[in-house]
Amino acid sequence: MIASGISRVNLELDLGEFVVITGESGSGKSTLLNVISGLDSYEEGEMYIEGKETSHFLATDFEEYRKKYIGNIFQNYNLVNSYTVYQNIELILLINGYPKDVVKRRTDEIIERVGLTAFRRTKVSKLSGGQRQRVSIARALAKDTDIILADEPTGNLDSASAQGIVELLSEIAHDKLVIVVTHNYDQFEAYATRRIKMHDGKIVENIVLRETAPAANSLTKIPAGKMSGGSCLHLGVRNTFNIFYKFLLLMMVFLFLVFAVASQYTTFVNKNYETSILGYNSYFYNYSNDRIVLKKSDDGLFTDDDFAALARMDNIRTVAPNDILLDSSLYLESDLFSMEAYPHSISEFSGEPDLGRMPEQPGEALLVGTQDDYTLSPEVAETILDETFQVWFGDDSEISITVVGVAFNDAEENFNYSGELYLTDDQIQEMRTQLYSSGSTVIVNINGKEMEAGMGDFYYRVLPSDKVGKGQAIASEDVSNFYLSEEEEDLNMTAAVGHDIDVQVRNMFYQEKLTLRISDVYTEKNYRDKTGDDDYDMHGGAIFISPDDFSVLFGKGNYQCSVYVEDLKAEDETVKAIRDLGYVALPLKDTVLEDNDGDIISMMEVPITILIIAAIFCIAYIVAGLILRSRSSYFSILRMLGLAKKQIRRILDVEVLLVANIAFAIFLIVVLLVSRGAIDIEYMRTLVEYLQLRDYIILYLMICAMALLISVWYSRRLFRKTAMGSFREEE
């Protein structure tokens, strides 16, 4: 057998012997003891245990071997100083898988046997050297193994304490194999059954002093088992708080980890949000990231009950019934003033105007804009009161708007949002009718032929005229051609009069159809007299109908509306709630198109965020590793006592995860206090603003994963060497 410090050792030892090994320092005594206990490995030869070879043993085999056969009494005790006498002895029984009732009974029995009952709840760090050695012996006895190995058990004791330890070991030797390494043979001479002397790593003397026979064990033998998961949890929780300052240091590391990762994650979420609201939208001109466009699932009209139900919902700031008008701006301009504004019904306005009065008649308007804007300073607002503006609306409609009131809005608005014009309901209905008209495709069936007027095309399009009766139509003289042969074309330009035509309108919201009788036709010369319209160049070729019939075709209600949310961070939940009510919802923030530069930046943000979080983790791992390093002696002791790597990993996992969970709980408490206004820190307000429930779950899983990685990396480092090698490294 060859190990570091020993060679050519040939020994056979039996139960009942009290073997004393002596020799000068460096002669190989302790190395031999460590090889026998499996704490150090050997390179050549063979060691047999009950006739079984051990040269093929792995680390796990030696752990099982120590658990089953070996009870160590170390020169430096190798006790857990932060544990009490009871806990140190209890520890070995938990490691060996004894049930709870047996653990308590046997621990008390062993404590009484070594004479430490009075110190049962005393921490080992407060005991004398002799008392600590008795705890070490008690721990070895608690396992009830067949072999007790004692390395210099009296080396640090006074003569009285040493004599007590020698007598106690001699009692044990009646039913076990006790091997003692000592410099002071005289202390053990009266009790030794064999003396071995070593020099330069070799046995130079091996004398049997007296024959012995094993005696019956005075303790009840109970077979050991595997350490339970409950015991791992118990020890992990105990170790978390056992040394309080280490717990505080480790918790500070995890608090740093939680807040740093949360901060970086929030920065990432915030950046994505900011990116999502930048860009452009080619369809919704009046783009606002807090706007949600709705329609009914049956494509029907919105009712007052619908608007009331939407207004009662949480997180809804404003309901805009006239959604179709929101993307049609009105441009007001005079010598001293210009502003783009979007029309709303006066019923949507709450409060009082800052200047002037509320609109009362069609054509009157309340202008709302931001007071900080130089275009609508109080001085400018005074000049435009009661001023009439001619504005274009829709394709070609020019309407008169008289500003009778001004209100200032200090809220920050979107970059493309200038102001709002609040008009009477009659004016809003007129404008909505005009938008339906200009946005519809008109198909006129004349004598069996369908003529289509697209949007922006006025030939065969229908227009209202007070000169036309209900159910009738006045058409261009060209319509008569549909009722004449080629030979008759120049003979009767009134041939269409008295004939019926079908007018069908179709748009994205609805379809409508009317049958009308042509009551007259117009030419360029009589156009104004018969239609009441002045612009033949623009409207020549149109079909004029009564205002009532025009209203049937285009004077519809709202097939679409918009709502504006209070809290953008909760917009997704609001959209879900709206859809649960049966509406189709389109958040405008989901319709924004970003430029290519934004895409590149977004692609870079993910790896950068990952790198930063990885750097945070590395910092936390290094600091946590330094703190956990102070626990290396504890885990090395567990290995010496025979605990397997798997169970040690579990204990370490419990300890690290528990601290991580406590740190995360503190984080949540801080978040709760911030959300209730008890803590006013801008950094924390930002976290609370951007983190949703899903984000807290992701963050929690990330922290737990990082905690487990720290546990895995540390345990790998711990098991890189033998149990004794790791222990020496930490001494």
Reported as a single tens digit per residue, the pLDDT across 459-515 is 889 999 999 999 999 999 989 888 887 665 555 778 899 999 999 999 989 999 999
The per-residue pLDDT for 154 is 83
> Is pLDDT of 642 > 60?
yes
- 174 versus 602: which is more confidently predicted? 174
Contacts of 624 (CB under 8 A, 6+ apart): 250, 253, 254, 656, 710, 714
Query: Per-residue confidence at 223, pLDDT binned at 50, 70, 90?
Result: low
Beta strands in 55-134 (DSSP E): 70-73
The per-residue pLDDT for 598 is 46
Place of tokens 């895995």: 712
Average pLDDT of the chain? 84
CA-closest candidate to residue 591, choices 240, 158, 292: 292
Contacts of 604 (CB under 8 A, 6+ apart): none
50 φ/ψ sector (left φ>0, alpha ψ -120 to 50, else beta): left
Query: Per-residue confidence at 606, pLDDT binned at 50, 70, 90?
Result: low
Query: Per-residue confidence at 19, pLDDT binned at 50, 70, 90?
Result: very high
DSSP 624-646: HHHHHHTTHHHHHHHHHTT--HH
- 489 versus 79: which is more confidently predicted? 79
CB 460, CB 543: distance < 8 Å: yes
> Is pLDDT of 721 > 80?
no
Place of tokens 């706007």: 291
DSSP element (H, E) containing 660: helix 645-675
Structural domain boundaries of the chain?
A: 2-225, 235-273+598-730, 291-321+559-591, 323-434, 439-554
Spatial separation of the C-alpha atoms in residues 698 and 682, rounded to whole Å: 23
The per-residue pLDDT for 646 is 85
Contacts of 88 (CB under 8 A, 6+ apart): 79, 80, 124, 135, 138, 139
**Residue 24 has what DSSP assignment?**
S
Rounded to an integer, the average pLDDT of 195-211 is 91
> Is pLDDT of 414 > 70?
no
Query: Of the ranges 443-452, 590-599, 719-728, which one carries the lowest mean pLDDT score?
Result: 590-599
The per-residue pLDDT for 597 is 46
Query: Per-residue confidence at 604, pLDDT binned at 50, 70, 90?
Result: low
The per-residue pLDDT for 666 is 93
User: Can you say how many angstroms the Cα of residue 541 is from the centroid of all Cα atoms in its chain?
Assistant: 64
The per-residue pLDDT for 560 is 92
Helices assigned H by DSSP within 367-485: 378-384, 425-438
Q: Cα–Cα distances in Å, from 616 out to 265, 270, 362, 623, 690? A: 12, 19, 64, 11, 21
> Is pLDDT of 90 > 90?
yes
pLDDT above 70: percentage of residues in the chain: 88
CATH class name, domain 2-225: alpha beta
- pLDDT tens by residue, 687-702: 777 777 888 888 899 8
Query: Per-residue confidence at 634, pLDDT binned at 50, 70, 90?
Result: confident
CA-closest candidate to residue 476, choices 466, 465, 461: 461
Query: Of the ranges 87-91, 241-245, 404-408, which one carries the lowest mean pLDDT score?
Result: 241-245
Query: Per-residue confidence at 224, pLDDT binned at 50, 70, 90?
Result: low
Rounded to an integer, the average pLDDT of 521-526 is 92
Rounded to an integer, the average pLDDT of 663-668 is 92
What is the length of the chain?
Answer: 731
- pLDDT tens by residue, 354-366: 999 999 999 999 9
Spatial separation of the C-alpha atoms in residues 21 and 179, rounded to whole Å: 7
Query: Per-residue confidence at 669, pLDDT binned at 50, 70, 90?
Result: very high
DSSP element (H, E) containing 716: helix 693-718
Query: Of the ranges 137-146, 231-240, 594-603, which one carries the lowest mean pLDDT score?
Result: 594-603
Highest mean pLDDT, choosing among 410-424, 653-667, 689-703: 653-667
The per-residue pLDDT for 596 is 46
Query: Per-residue confidence at 282, pLDDT binned at 50, 70, 90?
Result: low
Query: Of the ranges 20-29, 54-63, 261-270, which one carries the lowest mean pLDDT score?
Result: 261-270
